[in-house]
Structure formats: C-alpha cells, structure tokens
C-alpha cells in the first residue's frame, strides 16, 4: 500500500489508472494539472507524472519536486518516446514508462521504485526467508532464527532485493555493492555470493533464491 | 581616392617609385661624394693645347740642361699631373731620365724608334707632347704623356676608377629593394595565412570564427567578406536548427497524438478483459493487445525512420565495452524470452571496446530481439553469442524460427530491419542475415 500522486490530463487514461492502482491496494490521488500539487507532496510516497500537461509540463514539475523532495521517487508516464525526451526525463526521474503501457508493467515498476526508496515498512517473503527491509533483518521462517549476515553480505543481498526480479550482471553487482569499477576476472563477487548462499539457501549446492543466469549474471526472483 | 591610397596596389607602387628614386639618388650621391667628399678626382686637367703649349715653353725655356734640371722639371709637372709619364732622350739617343712612363721604352733610340714612337703617339692615347730643349742636337727631346681618360668628365673618371664603389652601392640598393619587397609580401603572406587558419578553425557548431579586421586594404576587404560569410553561415545554421527543432517537435507530437488514443484503446480492452468473457471474447482481447503492441512498434519505427532518413536522429558515439553492454541488454530481455518459454543460450567472450552510440545499439538489439519474439516463436530458441576472428569481432543472434523472407515485409519486420541496417551502417559496423526455413542467424560485425 502506497500513497500515489498521479498527474494525467487525459480523463479516460486517468480514470483507468486510478481504478487499476486502487484495486491493487494503493491510495491514489489523481490531478489533471500541476495546480495544487504542492499541497499533496508531503503526504506522498511516489509520483507518476505525464509530460504533456496543461500549464507547466511534466519535466518542469518533476524537477521542482526533486528539488524539494530528493527522496520522493518519480515515474514519468508519457506518450513521448523520443530518445531526447527519455534522456531529459531520466535526468531527474527514476523511471520512464511509455504509453501505451500495460497496467501490470506500471504496477511492477511502481513496486520496484517503492522498494528501492524503501517507502514501505515492508516485510518481504522469499521462500523460507522473511526480510524486514527497513531494519535490515533476515529471518529463517522455519527455525524462526535471524540469519546473521556480515556487512558486505547484507549489502549484496539488499542490492538484490532492491532490484528484485531483475537480472544483474556481475559488473552491475560489483559496481553497485563495492562502488568500484569491475575488472574482468575478479573473483571477489563470486566468493561473496558463495558465502551468502551458504547462509541463506536451504541447499547451497542448488541455489533457489539467488539464481545463476548462465552467461549473464544473477537474479533474485520474488 | 582615399580608398586607393589605402590599397596594397598604391603601397606597392610607392615602393617601386621610391626604389627608382633611390637608384638615381645613389648615382648622384656616389658621384658627389667622389667629387666633393673625398677629393679622389684630380683637379681640372685643362685642355690639351694648354698643356702642349706650356710643356714646350717649360722645356725650351730651360737654362741648363742636365739630369738635375730635368729631374726638377719632371717633379714640378708631377705635382700638377700625378698620373702623367715623362722621359728624356739625349742627342745620342740614350734614355737618360724616365718617370712613370706608360710603356716599356728602349734604352737606345735610333731614328726608326723615334719615328715609330712619333707615328704611334700622334693623336692617340695617351696624349703625348714632344718638346726639344735648347741645343736639341745635343740634348735630344723630352716627352710628356698623359692618359686621355684624364680629360674625361669627372663622373666618367669616377666610374672608371671607383666603379666598384658604385657597383657595391647599386648592389646594396638592389638588396635593400629586394628586402623591402620581401617584407612587403611577407606581411601580405602572413595576413593571408592568418586568414586561411581562421577558415580552418571551427567553433563548437562546426562554423568558422570571425577574424578581426585592422586595415582597409584588399586583404581587409577580404576579411570583411569572410566575416560576412561567417555571419550568413551562422544565420543559416540557426535557421536549420530551428527547423530541425520544429521537425523533431512535430514528429514527437505526432507520435504522442497517436499513442494517446492507443493507450485509451488499451484501457478499454483491459477493462473488458476483467469481465466474464467467453473464450472467444478472450481471444478477441488478445488480438487487440497484439495489434496495440504492433501499432506501437510501428509508430516508434516510423518515427525513428523519419529522423534517420533526415539524418536528425541524435547520434552520440563513445567507446563502449560491447560485451558488457550486450550482457546488460540481454539481461533486460531475458525475462521476456523466459516468459515465452524459449531455450536461451548465452555465450559471451570479451570483445573490447566498440565506438558506438549506446542508444542506437540498444535500438538495434531491441528490434532484432523483437523480431525473434514475433517471428521465431515456433523455434522457441534463441542464442546470443560473441565471436572473434582474425578479420572481425561479431555479435551473433541465432533463432530456430521459420526464417525471415526479404521480399515480404511481413508484419512490420521490414521497417524494423531497415532501421537496424541504417543504424549499423551509421555506426561504421557491418551486418548480415543468414535465414532459411530452419532458422536465422544475424551477425553484427566490427571489422578489424
């Protein structure tokens, strides 16, 4: 459940998204222009912005929001699909979804952003694991014991959770967790994944939580 | 008139004028220096008759004739005529005294010698006067000779005797003139080279930069024209950019206006799909969904195609680790193939850096993967590989579909592949497609 602020001037589309997101359990505030937007920002978890709006356009509104609320995720939802528009949008926004979109896709991307910004006090259930996102605690449901993870292991696991369902290449993982450029042939990441699997997998020899995608990288699937 | 005075032509003419004037001046200078400055020319020699008369008087007026008196006479005359020669032959035909004579003289003079001498010297060079002292049978004759050039005007003498000075002077003058000319043209050349350099330099828009005009001469005019041209170029570039902006806006708006109703169609079909539908109803909804996807891709491709054709598609190449790039792109597409139950085979070896625009490459891969999803569903197989050979590095995309037919641009594969073709070529890469009933292999190559 998240508080969504949605700006869309097309009535048909606005009503549809409002209905769909509400049915998925979100609390949606829908506005047809940027007017009066500021009053809602402090009570919002995520913003969905159309680009072509009467008055100030979505790009200008988005920049204004990010200036005052850096921690508020923004999804651009636009029928403008040119490279230039995407580049301009992603300059400040966290995601750029193009119309015609599928509601499932929008909902999924919303979830990803909410998780990345940790907007919800969410407990993630992952096979035999319970993950308390805000507190950074991982519990084994069967033994009801906390699984102690070292700093790097937790950091790595958290990176997977933030990008849940997304396949991450070893470069992305290494650079995301260690913050340094990955050098081909470095074994550090593999070693840490092995240790992490030994702690969280039921059977580390055939892992089910951290999947290996051959030739590409790894994935944690919800 | 003032414009002419400022011109290079006027300057050059002035230069030549001064040079000619200088040559004349130099002659005058050398001449006058020779005459007044250094006293290098003898006093006025006077005319020949005067000399002849005086010589006769002096010789004939000698009181006593012996070596001493003759020597004294010679000395006196030498003072007046330093370049004169004199000698005395006595009555016995012996050469008694000789002073600076111009030619070898016999010691003993017979009548033939005397006659020959007399004949040779008559009215010739040197000017010769023969006089007889008193008692000529005993005392013989005395000769005075003086080169005829001594009677030339002073400037002629100067050129004869001090010709080298004039030569050096002229040479110096010519050298001076050459140097002046050289400096004159050198200056012109420098300015021209500067102008040429200015034409080569480009600002961030790829336009030449204006030059500063200091002089009003021909090159100054040229510089002004050049600046005018730069201005015009700038204006036309600005117009072009504005038109480009309008064009982009137009296409972007068109795409927006097409997609908005498409989104509404999807909203409606999605709402219907949530109702209780017959299997036939579900099928119809699925068909609508597919059509929406197809139209969406078509709009996207049409937009890209229009921009590419007009060379207005944003192109920003940079060195990219192609294997890493490919891996990330495949990672994004993996779930799509997974959902369609494809067998996925990935074999990526390190290829190094390719100079590409990531947006373009992403577009190429999207179009190719999209084609696999749309046309190779029967094969349910995709392989993405990289390969390195002696001649090239390559990306391979292999499917086991029924093959793509070139002649029929079925279901929008045509425009998608056209865009792939344009973008691949645009980035200096090559590609080929090997397609038959059992599958298609697309190879994107970077030649070594």
Digit-coded pLDDT (tens) for A70-99: 999 999 999 988 888 888 999 999 999 999
Q: Do A16 and B270 touch (CB under 8 A)?
A: yes
Cβ–Cβ under 8 Å, residues A62 and A36? no
Q: Please state, in angstroms and rounded to a whole number, the distance separating the CA atoms of residues B121 and A33.
A: 130
Digit-coded pLDDT (tens) for B261-306: 999 999 999 989 988 889 999 999 999 998 998 899 889 888 888 8
pLDDT on residue B154: 61
pLDDT on residue B344: 94
pLDDT band of residue B80 (cuts 50, 70, 90) is confident
Q: Do A79 and B264 touch (CB under 8 A)?
A: no
Placement of tokens 């070292």 in the chain: A150
pLDDT on residue B108: 86
Q: Give long-range contacts, CB 8 A cutoff, 24+ apart: B297-302.
A: B297/B370, B297/B412, B297/B416, B298/B412, B298/B415, B299/B255, B299/B258, B299/B259, B299/B262, B300/A81, B300/B255, B301/B367, B301/B412, B301/B415, B301/B416, B301/B419, B302/B415
Q: Please state, in angstroms and rounded to a whole number, the distance separating the CA atoms of residues A110 and A17.
A: 12
Higher pLDDT, B247 or A150: A150
Q: Please state, in angstroms and rounded to a whole number, the distance separating the CA atoms of residues B430 and B448.
A: 11
Closest to A150 in 3D by CA, of A209, A204, A195: A195
For residue B286 the two structure tokens come to 């699925």
pLDDT on residue B416: 87
Digit-coded pLDDT (tens) for B368-381: 998 898 888 888 99
The answer, yes or no, to whether residue B174 has pLDDT greater than 80, is: yes
Average per-residue pLDDT for chain B: 84
pLDDT band of residue B326 (cuts 50, 70, 90) is very high
Which residue from B248, B256, B303 is facing A52, i.e. has the nearest CB?
B256
Q: Do B359 and A83 touch (CB under 8 A)?
A: yes
The answer, yes or no, to whether residue B79 has pLDDT greater than 60, is: yes
Placement of tokens 């040559």 in the chain: B23
For residue B108 the two structure tokens come to 């003993």
Four-point Cα dihedral A57, A61, A66, A69, nearest 10: -160
The answer, yes or no, to whether residue B43 has pLDDT greater than 60, is: no
Range with lowest mean pLDDT among B133-137, B219-223, B230-234, B428-432: B133-137
Please name the fold of domain B317-447.
Heat Shock Protein 90 (3.30.565)
pLDDT on residue B407: 45
Placement of tokens 């169609």 in the chain: B265
Digit-coded pLDDT (tens) for B6-28: 788 888 888 888 878 877 877 77
Quick check: A181 contacting B, CB < 8 Å? no
Q: What sign for the dihedral angle of Cα A93, A98, A99, A104?
A: negative
Please name the fold of domain B220-305.
Helix Hairpins (1.10.287)
pLDDT on residue B269: 92
* Domain locations along chain B: 2-40+162-190, 48-156, 220-305, 317-447
Structural domains in chain A plus CATH codes: 3-116 (3.40.50.2300), 123-220 (1.10.10.10)
Q: Please state, in angstroms and rounded to a whole number, the distance separating the CA atoms of residues A127 and A197.
A: 14
Predicted complex ipTM exceeds 0.90: no
Please classify residue A52 by burial: count the beta carbons closer than 10 Å to its beta carbon, then call 0-12 exposed, 13-18 middle and 19+ buried: middle
Contacts of A56 (CB under 8 A, 6+ apart): A33, A34, A64
Cβ–Cβ under 8 Å, residues B429 and B446? yes
* B interface with A, Cβ–Cβ below 8 Å: 248, 251-252, 255-260, 262-268, 270-271, 292, 296, 300, 303, 313-314, 324, 327-328, 330-332, 334-335, 345-348, 350, 359, 384
CA-based nearest residue in chain B for residue A165: B335
Closest to B65 in 3D by CA, of B98, B89, B35, B49: B89
Q: How many CA atoms lie within 13 A of B275 on its CB side?
A: 12
Q: Do B327 and A52 touch (CB under 8 A)?
A: no
Looking at beta carbons, which residues of chain A come within 8 Å of B359? 83
pLDDT above 90 covers what percent of chain B? 27
Cβ–Cβ under 8 Å, residues B170 and B26? yes
| Positions in chain A whose pLDDT score sits under 70 | 119-121
Task: Look up the pTM and report it.
Answer: 0.63
Q: Do A165 and B347 touch (CB under 8 A)?
A: no
Q: Do B259 and A82 touch (CB under 8 A)?
A: no
Higher pLDDT, B59 or B408: B59
Cβ–Cβ under 8 Å, residues B62 and B134? yes
Q: How many helices (H) and strands (E) does chain B have?
A: 13, 11
pLDDT on residue B46: 63
Closest to B210 in 3D by CA, of B223, B231, B234, B227: B227
pLDDT above 70 covers what percent of chain B? 91
Q: Do B347 and A215 touch (CB under 8 A)?
A: yes
């Amino acid at each position: 459940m998240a508080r969504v602020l949605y700006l869309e001037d097309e009535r048909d589309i606005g009503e549809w998204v409002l209905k769909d997101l509400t049915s998925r359990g979100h609390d949606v505030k829908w506005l047809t222009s940027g007017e009066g937007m500021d009053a809602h920002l402090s009570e919002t978890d995520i913003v969905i912005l159309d680009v072509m709006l009467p008055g100030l356009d979505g790009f200008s509104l988005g920049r204004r929001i990010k200036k005052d609320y850096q921690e508020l995720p923004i999804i651009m939802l636009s029928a403008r699909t040119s490279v230039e528009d995407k580049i301009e949008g992603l300059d400040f926004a966290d995601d750029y979804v193009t119309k015609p979109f599928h509601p499932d896709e929008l909902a999924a991307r919303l979830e990803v952003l909410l998780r990345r910004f940790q907007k919800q006090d969410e407990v993630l259930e992952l096979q035999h694991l319970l993950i308390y996102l805000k507190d950074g605690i991982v519990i084994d449901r069967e033994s009801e014991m906390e699984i102690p993870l070292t700093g790097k292991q937790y950091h790595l696991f958290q990176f997977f959770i933030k990008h849940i369902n997304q396949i991450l290449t070893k470069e992305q993982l290494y650079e995301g967790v260690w913050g340094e450029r990955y050098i081909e042939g470095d074994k550090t990441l593999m070693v840490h994944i092995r240790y992490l699997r030994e702690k969280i997998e039921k059977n580390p020899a055939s892992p089910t939580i951290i999947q290996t995608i051959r030739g590409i990288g790894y994935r944690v699937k919800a | 008139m003032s414009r002419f005075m400022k011109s290079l032509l006027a300057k050059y003419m002035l230069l030549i004028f001064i040079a000619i004037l200088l040559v004349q001046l130099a002659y005058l200078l050398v001449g006058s220096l020779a005459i007044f400055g250094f006293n290098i020319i003898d006093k006025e020699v006077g005319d020949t008759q005067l000399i002849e008369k005086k010589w006769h008087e002096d010789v004939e007026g000698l009181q006593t004739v012996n070596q001493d008196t003759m020597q004294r006479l010679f000395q006196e005359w030498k003072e007046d005529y330093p370049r004169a020669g004199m000698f005395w032959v006595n009555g016995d035909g012996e050469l008694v005294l000789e002073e600076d004579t111009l030619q070898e003289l016999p010691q003993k003079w017979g009548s033939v010698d005397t006659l020959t001498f007399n004949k040779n010297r008559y009215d010739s060079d040197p000017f010769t006067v023969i006089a007889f002292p008193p008692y000529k049978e005993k005392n013989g004759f005395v000769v005075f000779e003086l080169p005829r050039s001594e009677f030339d005007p002073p400037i002629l003498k100067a050129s004869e005797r001090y010709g080298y000075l004039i030569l050096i002077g002229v040479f110096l003058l010519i050298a001076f003139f050459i140097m002046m000319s050289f400096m004159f043209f050198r200056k012109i050349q420098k300015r021209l080279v500067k102008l040429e350099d200015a034409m080569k330099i480009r600002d961030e828009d790829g336009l030449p930069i204006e030059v500063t005009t200091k002089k009003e001469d021909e090159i100054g005019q040229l510089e002004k024209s050049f600046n005018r041209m730069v201005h015009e170029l700038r204006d036309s570039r600005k117009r072009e950019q504005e038109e480009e902006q309008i064009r982009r806006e137009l296409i972007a708006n068109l795409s927006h206006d097409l997609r908005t109703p498409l989104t509404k169609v999807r909203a409606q079909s999605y709402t219907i799909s949530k109702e209780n539908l017959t299997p036939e109803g579900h099928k119809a909804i699925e068909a609508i969904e597919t059509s929406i996807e197809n139209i969406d891709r078509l709009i996207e491709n049409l937009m890209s195609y229009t921009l590419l054709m007009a060379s207005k598609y944003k192109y920003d190449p940079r060195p990219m680790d192609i294997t890493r790039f490919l891996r990330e792109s495949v990672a994004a597409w993996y779930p799509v193939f997974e959902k369609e139950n494809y067998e996925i085979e990935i074999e990526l070896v390190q290829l190094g850096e390719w100079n590409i625009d990531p947006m373009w490459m992403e577009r190429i891969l999207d179009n190719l993967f999209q084609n696999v999803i749309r046309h190779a569903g029967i094969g349910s197989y995709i392989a993405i590989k990289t390969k390195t050979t002696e001649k090239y590095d390559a990306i391979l995309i292999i499917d086991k579909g029924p093959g793509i037919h070139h002649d029929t641009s079925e279901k929008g594969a045509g425009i998608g592949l056209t865009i792939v073709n344009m973008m691949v070529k645009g980035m200096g890469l090559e590609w080929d497609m090997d397609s038959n009933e059992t599958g298609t292999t697309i190879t994107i190559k970077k030649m070594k």
